Amino acid sequence: MKKTFQKTLIAAAAGVALMSTVGTASANSLLFPYFTTNSGAQSVLSISANSTASSSTAGEVLHYVYNYGPSCIHFDGNGRVTGNDLLQHSIAATTAGGFGKAVSTDASTPFYFPSANSFGFLTVTNKSTAGAVISGEMAIVDPSTGLVAAYAGISNSAETVGTLSEGDFSGITDQQFDLRFFGSSVTSTSWYGVVTGNMYAAITAGANWTGAQTLSNNGVIYNNDESPLSGTSTKTLNCAGTFTANDLMNTAQQAAVGGNGGLIHASASSVAPDAKTVFFASKGLVLMKLQAVQAAVGAPFAGKQFLHREAVTPF
């Protein structure tokens, strides 16, 4: 990988550090709700530890849990960071197209994802010293889709040393979203949703997280001129998954909206745990919106892809 590209990614990750916040002073878990190891893409993780973290050679054990692919498969392992330290590395291992550590002589230890051409979400947890807070960011560049994005990791602000709180994101209860989409001639729009809840039992069992949420259009969608078009459609996300506006419209609504775009007041509901299907209890959703601009739009937007987190929206 070219040095200039690597420096650009690191600068982007460092930039969003200004937006990263930490709640109570406790060892914590971070949720990174989207990464990709698509061929030619780089997802770059930047992690730091506060002054409470150990500065010994052993440092702080960081538990990485990757949840990847359409089936949201569990893959985990340990890294290491020390107090006031900075660890920056590609998500993908060098054997999978990543560049490795940003500084090759860095004594910290990443835990890489070993496969190219995949995607998913990641949790990273401090497992060593109570009160040792970690914070971090993800920066992503995918030349094949035009995606350039950076975002701060979401902290659960819960003590994760000697407790049952690793991966406990049950405090994220967002279940109402305004889903806006441009016409099909302007953008191709999709969402990647991560189901939130307490993932502790799944993580410690080495099992796939299977909390589920069902999104509904609440019986109506709106075209670009606020005309209501009735008809109920739903989409269930198990652990995590992608969907488009069409998944929340019936065929008649799709035909009526055509290529002009519209608005869906979507609400989610928790799917009750089921011992037979081994569902874990869920609480809400983190939705990441991806908008790929069509070539016909022209400069400067054509070929670019935008990613952001959808905010909860009362309606």
Please identify which residue in the block is written with the tokens 């939130």: 196
Q: Which residues are within 8 A (CB) of 21 and not within 5 positions of it... i.e. 6 or more apart?
A: 135, 152, 155
Q: What is the 3-state secondary structure (H, E, C) of 230-274?
A: ECCCEEEEECEEEECHHHHCCHHHHHHHCCCCEEEEEEEEECCCC
The DSSP code for 312 is: P
Residue 4 DSSP SS3: helix
Domain borders along the chain are 3-155, 176-309
Buried b (16+ CB within 10 A) or exposed e, 87-120: bbbbbbbeebbbbbbbeeebebebbbbebbebbb
* CA-wise closest residue to 80 among 64, 93, 98, 104: 64
| Structure confidence by residue, pLDDT tens digits, 102-138 | 999 999 999 999 999 999 999 999 999 999 999 999 9
pLDDT tier at 24 (50, 70, 90 boundaries)?
low
Give rounded-to-5 percent helix, strand, coil for the chain: 15, 40, 45
The confidence score (pLDDT) of residue 57 equals 87
pLDDT tier at 315 (50, 70, 90 boundaries)?
confident
| Structure confidence by residue, pLDDT tens digits, 210-223 | 999 999 999 999 99
Dist CA 169 CA 197 (whole Å): 5
Name the superfamily (CATH) of residues 3-155: TM1070-like (2.60.290.11)
| Structure confidence by residue, pLDDT tens digits, 128-148 | 999 999 999 999 999 999 999
